[in-house]
Structures are given as structure tokens and as C-alpha cells.
A and B are shown apart, each in its own frame.
Chain A
Amino acid sequence: MTALPLWVRRPSGERVGWLRTVDHKEIGVLYIGMGVAFFAIGGLEALLLRAQLATPESRLVDPSTYDQAFTVHGVTMILLAVVPLLVGFANYLVPLMIGAPDVAYPRLNALSFWLSLVGGIVLYFSFLAGGAPDTGWFSYAPLAERSFAPGLGVDYYIVGLAVNGAGTIIGAINLTVTILLMRCPGMAISRVPLFVWMTLVTSILILGAYPALTAALVMLFVDRQLGGHFFDPAGGGQVVLWQHLFWFFGHPEVYIMVLPAMGMISEIIPVFSGKPIFGYRFVAGSSVAIAFLSFGVWAHHMFAVGLGDTENAIFAATSMLIAVPTGVKIFNWIATMVGGRIRLTTAMLFAVGFIAMFVIGGLSGVSLAVVPIDLAVTDSYYVVAHLHYVLFGGTMLGIFAGAYYWFPKMTGRLLDEGLGKLHFWATFAGFNLTFLPQHWLGAVGMPRRVFTYAASTGWGPLNLVSTIGAAILAVAMVIFAVNLVRSLRSGEVAGDDPWDGFTLEWATSSPPPAENFPTIPAVTGRRPLWDRKHPDQRDRA
């Protein structure tokens, strides 16, 4: 059992390298590798931002560098780190979980990955081509118009995001068709693992949301390169149109980033509680509700625009409504743990950490849906704190849980639990130290995206705490990197089913052979492997 073989054999016996591979598992690993690399780059950018803000009136970096760093940090983490990480796990796991030999279109799958990567490289090429974009990850007009952003940075942003988005859309088509048509005998849609359910819902969200971003990018490109007036007030255009189009993409994007992580912990919590998930149908159904509602909440990012009281009230109501299906999930996870035989592995620690941190992020989100509160703290560090509780405290902790849980399947070796627990606690402490104080900073008026602040504001101490937290977080990531490298080389050999798992990915070898399963699995319930191991205690569903 070797760790991550550099070559896999196709069923025909042909040897294929990473550049030419069309195997869903290898493409999954490529996606995860891309995500890890960009997560490291985006993390270094974040450290630069925190270093600059550690003390008032700091001159560590100049304002222009700072603007580029926060813009590229946001784009990188969202589109080049989190999305590829989640798509990578989905690529690797979905065919295994549904008992399929591969995705529906293996070659198109390779195209998706390479488009996503090239999009990221195009964005980063801007650093060599005279300056990165410096207009924020949502690149509002008219700031992003040529008159205010004359360099090429925004053009690289447009092309990079469009190419990356095309890859993501093609990947979503692939996963949708795979889940709908490639399930093995007996694997009814009401039996697929919840991670597969969440991937399906996420794919549909991508298909509905990303085209709006592409459309907005095309319009911005017409404005910048062909002298158009879509978002140019002097030519009769309306800057608010950009915001509508961007957030019609941008808010579903939040759920695109969080639903697969929810899917991961919906696999992990039942296994480590020794119980089936509580309320499978509610976990699956609430995801559909979230997806549906997520297309009707975008203007809560735009309360400060002044759309009008009626519009604001409607979007406030829908935004609060979306907390209901989210809350349903939280209670399902907790109810799954109640009365279970809990094994506090590193994966389980991260999964439970997800619930706690996501609840904080969710609650601050509901507070932001209250228009008067939003008007008071809009564009402040309160918003920065909120979004990091959702995307780091939520999604990233979920991804770490998934990493500890499925690493043995992907490599044949377990990640070290001792280093893992150190990684968890350092992450947990560093994360909260970084982002909890930012709620207070935002509430007392510290604006986001400003490269420094006067000493007289009194924001210095909390900013220093936040920066110290970021340093601890960086140490936690180094611990994780050490764990990855060491375990890959000499970790404990995992075997096929190290966690006493429920689902089909644990029914094959670690790592699985090229064709996934030597024989087509037959499924009679929601926990096919459990049923096989405990024929006397089969699930009825």
C-alpha cells in the first residue's frame, strides 16, 4: 500500500501521468492540491494584512500594496482555495459513495480542473503585469471602471474569474449528471449519503449563480475595453446594476462554500457517534430549502445602497428565513450526537468545532439581516468577523474534519492523531483570537479595507490581539502541513475501513483501484457498508 502513487493504472493497464489523467480520484487530488496551494498563498496575504494592522499608523506596507493584498486574499480564498477544495473532495468521493466507476464525463472533468487552475494563474499573473486588482473581491463599480482603476489588474480579475468560473460550471454539470444517472443498483436518491445530497444541491447552485457573475464580468469587460457604459454613470449606466448581478452570484456562493462542508460533517458526526444521522430527510430537504432561498436574499448585501424601505424589508425577511433550514441542520447534528457512543477523533473535533463556530457566524449573520444594525456596521470589521466565522469557522473547519476523515482513504495512511489534536486546538484558539475581537472593532466603527488607523481611535490593543491570533493560526497551519507530510511518508497504515464507516467509499481498498469497485455494489439502505457488516441490524430505509 503506497501513499499517493504518482501513476495509476487504467483498467487497460495503460500508465497515465497527472497532466493527462482523467481519473476522478486523481483529478480530485489535483483540485485539493490546488486548493491547498492557494490556501497557503491566501493565508500569507492575510498575515501581511494582519501584520500591517497590528499597530496604529503602521507603515509596514503602502496603501496600494495593502489594497492589492486584501483584494487578492478574498478572491483567492473564495474561488481558488475553498471552492477547489470542496470540488476536489466531491470529485474524489461522489463516485465512490454512489458506487460508480467514475464521473459521467471523465475528460470534461479534467478540462474543469485545468480551466479552474488557469483562471487562478491568470489572476496571479497580474502581479507580474503591472499590479494586481485592488478593488476588493466584489470589485464594485464605478471603482472598477477604467477611470478609477486604470491599470490592468481588474482586467486580469475579469479574465481569471471568467475562466475559473467556466471550469467550475462544467464541473457542476458533471457532478449533477453523475449523481442523477450513475448511482449503483439500489442507491435510490433517498439513500445517497448526505455529502452527495449537498454536492448535488451545491452543483445546482453553481449552475444558477456563476452565470450571473460571468454576465457581470462580460459587461465590465465591455465597459473597460470597448468603451461601454453599463456601469458608467457619466454615460447613463447604473453602478447598482453591478451590485445586483454580483450578489445574485455572491450570496448563493456563500452556500456553495458551506453546503459541501455541512455534507462532510453530516457523514462524520454519525460515524463517530455510532448512530445513523438524525432526520436524514430533514437534513437533505433543508439543503434544498437553503438553495431555493439563497437566490432571494442577495440585496441584504446592499442595504446601504438605499434601495428603499420595502425592498430592504423583503430582503431582511428572506435573509432571516434562511436561518430556519440552517437551524434545522444544527439540531439534526446535535440530536445525532445525543445518546451516541462518541469517539472524539480529530475529525470529530473539527466537526463539532464547525457546529459551534458556524452558529456564531450564523447568529451574527441574522443580526446583519436587521437593516438598522446593518446600516450601523456595514463595511466595518463586524462584517469581516461574521464572514470569517462562516467561511473559516464553518467551512474550513469542515474541510479539516473531512481531511482527517478521508485522508486514509485517499492515501492508505492515517493522519497522526496527536498532531491532529494539536492542530485542532491551535486552530480553534488562533481563529477565535483573530476574529472574535473584530466584532468589537466593527461595532466601535473600524472600517474594513483601510490600510491603517490613528492611535487616538483606541483600536490598537484589539488589533494587536487579532494579529497575535493570526500568528497562532499560522502555526496551526504549519502543524497541519507537518502532519500531512509526515503521515504521507510514514503514517499508520489505515486499511480499508479505519473508522468503522457506513458508506461505500470504505467498502473498497485505500486508495481505491482505478475502477473503484471490483464488483458493482448492491445497496439496500442508507448505510450500505454497515448493512454488510451487521446484517442483523440492517437499516430499514
Chain B
Amino acid sequence: MSASVAVGRGPSIAHDRVLLGVAVFIASESVFFLAIVLAYLAYRDAGLATAKANLDIPRTAIFSIALFSSSATMALAARHGSRSWLVATIALGAVFLAGQGSEYARLLASGIGPGRELFGTTFFTLTGLHGVHVLGGLVALFALLAAHIRRRSALRPVAFEAVGLYWHFVDAVWVVVFSVVYLGTLL
């Protein structure tokens, strides 16, 4: 096992136990999100008017860009085994969550919660479940950072790859959620 985390070709999903496990987990998670997104779509028409009147697309787009860029910083962190890119990824993920938090606060202040019409129910469920996954990703990133600080030499490159794979997935789910929930109001 090489002591450096930066050199050599990355491990492949087809041969690495950890990466294959994460990939299989992501496949299973995809079914979970698919079910929630389908439920959102099934009730989309009923909630469309409320969605149009209350969602702030430009503001959420800015926070979304933070999340999308965090995939790039994660890829750089994995490629170079880099602590600073890891910190940048965590920061961008946290910015996204803060943005979601402020969006929730704004909606709740104007009286829209999970119990308010189908829009509230489906919106808070879908974005909330995604937010929980982002939070889980942040925990994993923090654990990776802590391991990198404490015992850098023992950390295998696959640790970055595995956390990265999950983080890209969380990012990809947001591409779908943002398109369906926010951009969908423009149709």
C-alpha cells in the first residue's frame, strides 16, 4: 500500500470493494429519490400556482452553483489528495445548506410549511430529504478531513474516491430536484 495518497491511477469500481459498495448504495438511493420525485411530479399541477408565487429561482440558482462547484472541488481533492480542496468542498456544501435554510425560513415566515397544501408537503419532503443527504455528505467529508489530519499516511486514495462518489451523487440529485421543483415552474 503506497503511503502517498496522490500518485497512481485511481481504484476502479469493478475491482475495489469500497467503491463497488458505495456504487451499489447509490443505485439503491436512486430508487428512493426516484419515488419521491415521482410523487412530487404526480402532485405538481396541484401545487404549481403556489410554487410560481413563492419560489425564488435566481437566489436558489446561486446557492445551487455553490453545490455544483463543490463537485469540481471534490474531484480536485480526490485527484491530489488535497486537504485545502476538501475544506473548499465542505465550505461550498455548507453554503448550499445555509441557502436552503434561509429559503425554508422565508417560506415558513410566509406561512408555507409541510402541512400547507400539496405544494408544501411535496416541496419540503423532496428538498428536505435531499438536504439530509447533503448533511450526511458533509459528515463524511468532515470524517475524511479529520482522518487526513490525524493519520495522513494511513489514508488510502479510495477513501477520497468513495466519499467523492457519494458527493457527486448528492450533487446530481440536486440537478434533478432543482430542475423539477424550481425550473419546472417556468414551464
Interface residues of A (CB under 8 A from B): 104-105, 169, 172-174, 176-177, 180-182, 207-212, 214-216, 218-219, 222-223, 226-230, 235-238, 241, 245, 248
0 or 1 for each of B10-35: is its CB under 8 Å from A? (1 = yes): 00000101001100110111011001
Check: B142 CB closer than 8 A to any chain A CB.
no
Is A236 in contact with B117, judged by CB distance below 8 angstroms?
yes
Q: Which of B15, B31, B118 contacts A229 (CB 8 A)?
A: B118
Is the CB–CB distance between A230 and B35 below 8 Å? no
Is B118 within 8 A of A222, CB to CB? no
On whether A208 and B31 interact (CB within 8 A), knowing A173-B25, A228-B121, the answer reads yes
Please determine whether A208 and B114 come into contact, CB atoms closer than 8 angstroms: no
B36 in the interface (beta carbon within 8 A): yes
Given contacts A208-B31, A236-B43, contact A219 B125 (CB under 8 A): yes
Interface pair A181/B35, CB less than 8 Å apart: no
Q: Which bucket holds chain B's interface residue count?
A: 20 to 34
B42 on interface, CB distance cutoff 8 Å? yes
B72 CB within 8 Å of chain A: no
A235 touches B27 (CB 8 A): no
Contact between A229 and B42, CB atoms less than 8 A apart = no
- How long is the Cα–Cα vector from A476 to B121 in the complex, in angstroms? 50
Whole-angstrom CA separation of A214 from B114 in the bound complex? 19
Of A177, A207, A215, the contact of B35 (CB 8 Å cutoff): A215
Contacts of B113 in A (CB 8 A): 226-227
Q: Which of B111-154 contact A (CB under 8 A)?
A: 113-115, 117-118, 120-122, 124-125, 129
27 sampled A-B residue pairs with Cβ under 8 A: A177-B20, A177-B21, A181-B15, A181-B17, A207-B31, A208-B28, A209-B31, A211-B28, A211-B29, A211-B31, A211-B32, A211-B35, A215-B32, A215-B35, A216-B35, A218-B125, A222-B114, A223-B121, A228-B114, A228-B120, A229-B117, A229-B121, A230-B125, A235-B118, A236-B46, A236-B117, A237-B121
Is B39 an interface residue when CB atoms closer than 8 A count as contact? yes
CB distance from A101 to the nearest CB of B (A): 13
Judging by beta carbons under 8 Å apart, are A237 and B24 in contact?
no
Q: B97 CB to closest chain A CB, in angstroms?
A: 19
Contact B39 A241 (CB under 8 A): yes
A105 proximity list for chain B (CB < 8 A) = 17, 21
Cβ-defined contact, A241 with B42, below 8 A: yes
Query: What CA separation (Å) do A216 and B121 show in the bound complex?
Result: 13
Contacts of A212 in B (CB 8 A): 31-32, 35
- Asked if B27 contacts A207 (CB within 8 A), the reply is yes
CA of A223 to CA of B121, assembled, Å: 8
Expressed in whole angstroms, the minimum distance between the Cβ of B100 and any Cβ of chain A is 17
CA distance A257 to B147 in the complex (A): 40
Contact pick for B121, options A173, A210, A222, CB 8 Å: A222
5 additional A-B pairs beyond A211-B35, A227-B113, beta carbons within 8 Å, are A177-B20, A207-B28, A222-B125, A229-B117, A230-B43
Q: Please tell me if the beta carbons of B24 and A177 are within 8 angstroms of each other in the complex.
A: yes
Alpha-carbon separation in the docked complex, A250 to B20 (Å): 27
Most chain B CB neighbours (cut-off 10 Å) among A208, A223, A235: A235
Alpha-carbon separation in the docked complex, A43 to B151 (Å): 52
A373 to chain B, nearest CB (A): 30
Chain A residues with CB below 8 A from B115, complex form: 226-229
State whether A173 touches B24 (Cβ < 8 A). yes
Task: Write the nearest CB–CB distance from A299 to chain B, whole angstroms.
Answer: 15
**In the complex where A104-B17, A181-B20 touch, is A237 in contact with B32 (Cβ < 8 A)?**
no
Give the docked Cα–Cα distance between A473 and B125 (Å). 46
Nearest opposing residue in chain A for B25, CB measure = A173
B20 contacts across to A, CB distance below 8 A: 177, 180-181
Interchain CB contact under 8 A, A226 and B32: no
> Is A177 in contact with B17, judged by CB distance below 8 angstroms?
yes
> Bound complex: CA of A216 vs CA of B32, how far in Å?
9
Instruction: Give the docked Cα–Cα distance between A485 and B113 (Å).
Output: 57
Min CB–CB distance B129 → chain A (angstroms) = 7
Q: Contact between B35 and A245 (Cβ–Cβ < 8 Å)?
A: yes
Which of chain B's residues have a CB closer than 8 A to the CB of A215? 32, 35-36, 39
Residues of B within 8 Å of A216, CB to CB, are 35
Report if A214-B32 is in contact (Cβ < 8 Å); known contacts: A227-B114, A236-B118, A241-B42: yes
Q: Does B39 contact A230, Cβ atoms closer than 8 Å?
A: yes
Q: Which residues of B contact A230 (CB under 8 A)?
A: 39, 43, 121-122, 125
Query: How far is B36's CA from A222's CA once the two chains are assembled, in angstroms?
Result: 12
* Residues of the B chain whose Cβ atoms lie less than 8 Å from the Cβ of A181: 15, 17, 20
In the complex the two chains form, what is the Cα distance from A230 to B113 in whole Å?
A: 14
A223 CA to B115 CA, complexed, in Å:
8
For the complex of A and B, the 5 pairs showing the least CB-CB separation, nearest first, are: A227-B115, A215-B35, A211-B32, A228-B121, A211-B31
Closest B residue by C-beta to A105: B21
Which chain A residues lie closer than 8 Å to B129 at the CB level? 218
Q: With a CB–CB cut-off of 8 A, which chain B residues contact A218? A: 36, 125, 129
**A173 to B, closest residue via Cβ:** B24
A180 contact set on B, CB distance < 8 A: 20
